[in-house]
């Protein structure tokens, strides 16, 4: 196991206080919502094609 950094554990038993920007871990911006939208649309189209090919008679 790696030792905890000072950033993760203060050693005093008190919770570490961070600003909202420091605590945010997700990616913001970078057109992530568009990538998720197009990926979801692609999966829906792929399932529709598979359904049409195998199950719709």
Does residue 41 sit within a domain? yes
Is residue 36, in this structure, part of any structural domain at all? yes
Domain-embedded: residue 6: no
pLDDT in tens, 18-41: 888 777 777 667 788 899 999 999
Query: Would you say residue 42 lies in a domain?
Result: yes
Residues 16, 10: contact at Cβ < 8 Å? yes
Residue 39 lies in a domain: yes
In a domain, 10, yes or no: no
pLDDT in tens, 9-21: 556 778 888 888 7
For the entire predicted model, the pTM comes to 0.51
In angstroms, the Cα distances linking 11 to 3, 4, 18, 20 are 12, 10, 16, 22
Tell whether the torsion through CA atoms of 44, 48, 49 and 54 is positive or negative: positive
- Domain span at residue 37 reads 28-54
Q: How many domains does the chain have?
A: 1
């Amino acid at each position: 196991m790696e030792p905890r950094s000072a950033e993760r554990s203060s050693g005093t038993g008190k919770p570490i206080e961070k600003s909202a920007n420091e605590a945010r871990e997700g990616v913001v911006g970078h057109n992530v919502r568009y990538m998720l939208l197009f990926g979801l649309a692609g999966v829906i189209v792929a399932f529709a094609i598979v359904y049409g090919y195998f199950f719709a008679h």
